[in-house]
């Protein structure tokens, strides 16, 4: 990837580029908890975005996507938003940096990625944090890492139409090889947990399903949570987020919110607790509990939060049957991957069964990714 990027950069824009990279992410547990002020437990992975980058002395950005084989040229003012969806991520990062008082001037870039798109591995956060990091470095803006993550998050909100939480961009900016990171999304306190479960592998099974309306469905979930939290706040003024709520407080407002909002909130309150339970279990080396919590999360995401789909439920059931320790839909949902904690000796059997049975049911094989927990945003050269 590196050689191709540099070759294209030289052909289009000349020599002398710097190289930056950033990563996609996995999340062991803590899904849809970030915008509810709860915990998440992600890590950056060995699949990401790489960009060659050089200032061009103008007030224009020239960006070339190797994956789309397309160039976008745009200015840096609000009205200069490019037509290409992929370029809006870079434009958004420029704008959000400028809004925070940072300097951004014209540059040339060629970039490519190996995060599978739509798989729930946050290719967009990888792209945002790669450019947030590159701009900060190239223009010496001295913006701290949390703010770089927020630049990516605000890009999603203001330029891409997704009201996401902070998890993906946080993982992508703070990722460290070999470590998962538990983040409290309310206080922004975080802790690195070395993650190297002896005798187990983390395996992603990509259903290759992508749902068109995922962004709006995601935003609706968030609104449900906010309505439920607002109803609870009337009885318990200290509540700012669902993560502040006790389960019984939700029961108190059962008649004041819709059954749908109730189910969404029920899921979130359970999930916030599960992250803590998983961290405790990890400290004891109890992977059976970790796995059981993953199955509980899947149940909640499927039946209460309703962000799973037939294909992902199928993969989850299959994992349970084969004896996989833990399995669940990962990321926002509505397609993408399951994340599976698999005993080494079960790996071959599980992968073979997943491929064969999924293909028989849905007409195509799922893709299998073995992930390595890796570093996040950085300068390579
Ligand atoms: C997407 C969002 C994150 C988070 C997850 C679900 O990846 O970008 O902020 O809400 O979904 O956990």
DSSP assignment string, 178-221: TEEEEEETTT--EEEEE---TTEEEEEEEEEEE-TTHHHHHHHH
Beta strands in the chain (DSSP E): 18-27, 39-40, 42-55, 60-65, 70-75, 107-113, 179-184, 190-194, 200-210, 326-329, 335-343, 367-370, 378-379
Predicted local confidence at residue 117, as pLDDT = 86
pLDDT given for residue 210 in this prediction: 87
Helical (H) or strand (E) element with 279: helix 259-284
pLDDT of residue 380: 96
The residue among 214, 278, 270, 280 whose CA lies nearest residue 242 is: 270
pLDDT in the model for residue 262: 98
Sheet holding 200-210, edge to edge: 326-329, 335-343, 200-210, 367-370
Determine whether 168 is an active site residue. Answer: yes
For atom 11 of ligand 1, the residue with the nearest CA is 332
pLDDT at 187: 97
Q: What is the pTM of this model?
A: 0.96
One fold for 2-194+375-379 and 200-370: no
- pLDDT on residue 227: 98
Q: Which residue's CA is the closest to the ligand 1 atom numbered 8?
A: 164
CA angle, corner 70, sides to 55 and 161, nearest 5? 85
Domain 200-370 has CATH 3.30.70.890: yes
- CATH architecture, domain 2-194+375-379: 2-Layer Sandwich (3.30)
Residue nearest to atom 2 of ligand 1 (CA): 164
* Distance from Cα 282 to the centre of ligand 1, integer Å: 23
CA 149 to centroid of ligand 1, rounded, Å: 13
Strands 60-65 and 107-113: parallel
Nearest-CA neighbor of 48 among 125, 3, 115? Answer: 115
pLDDT computed for residue 153 by the predictor: 98
Q: Each residue of 56-105: pLDDT tens digit?
A: 999 999 999 999 999 999 999 999 999 999 999 999 999 999 999 999 99
pLDDT score, position 318 = 98
| pLDDT less than 70: residues of the chain | none
> What residues does each domain of the chain span?
2-194+375-379, 200-370
- From ligand 1's centre to the CA of 31, what distance in Å? 7
CB atoms within 10 A of CB 85: 11
């Amino acid at each position: 990837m590196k050689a191709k990027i540099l070759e294209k950069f030289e052909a289009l824009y000349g020599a002398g580029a710097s190289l930056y990279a950033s990563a996609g992410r996995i999340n062991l547990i803590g899904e849809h908890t970030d915008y509810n002020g709860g915990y998440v437990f992600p890590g950056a992975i060995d699949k990401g975005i790489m960009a060659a980058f050089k200032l061009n002395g103008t007030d224009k950005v020239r960006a070339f996507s190797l994956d789309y084989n397309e160039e976008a040229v745009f200015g840096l003012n609000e009205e200069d938003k490019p037509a290409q969806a992929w370029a809006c991520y870079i434009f958004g990062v420029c704008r959000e940096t400028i809004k925070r008082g940072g300097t951004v001037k014209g540059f040339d870039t060629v970039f490519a990625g190996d995060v599978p798109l739509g798989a729930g591995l946050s290719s967009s956060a990888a792209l945002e944090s790669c450019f947030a990091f590159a701009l900060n470095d190239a223009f010496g803006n001295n913006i701290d890492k949390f703010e770089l993550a927020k630049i990516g998050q605000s890009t999603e909100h203001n330029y891409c139409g997704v009201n996401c939480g902070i998890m993906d961009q946080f993982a992508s900016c703070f990722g460290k090889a070999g470590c998962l990171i538990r983040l409290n999304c309310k206080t922004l306190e975080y802790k690195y947990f070395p993650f190297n479960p002896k005798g187990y592998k983390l395996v992603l099974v990509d259903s290759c399903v992508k749902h068109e309306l995922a962004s709006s469905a995601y935003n609706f979930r968030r609104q449900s949570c906010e309505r439920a939290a607002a109803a609870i706040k009337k009885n318990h003024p200290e509540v700012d987020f669902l993560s502040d709520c006790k389960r019984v407080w939700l029961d108190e407002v059962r008649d004041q919110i819709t059954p749908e909002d109730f189910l969404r909130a029920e899921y979130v309150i359970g999930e916030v607790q599960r992250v803590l339970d998983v961290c405790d279990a990890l400290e004891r080396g109890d992977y059976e509990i970790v796995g059981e919590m993953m199955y509980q999360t899947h149940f909640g995401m499927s039946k209460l939060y309703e962000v799973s789909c037939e294909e992902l439920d199928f993969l989850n059931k299959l994992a349970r049957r084969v004896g996989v320790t833990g399995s669940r839909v990962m990321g926002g949902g509505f397609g993408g991957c399951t994340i599976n904690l698999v005993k080494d000796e079960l790996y071959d059997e599980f992968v073979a069964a997943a491929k064969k049975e999924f293909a028989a049911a849905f007409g195509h094989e799922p893709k299998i990714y073995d992930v390595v927990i890796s570093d996040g945003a950085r300068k390579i050269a």
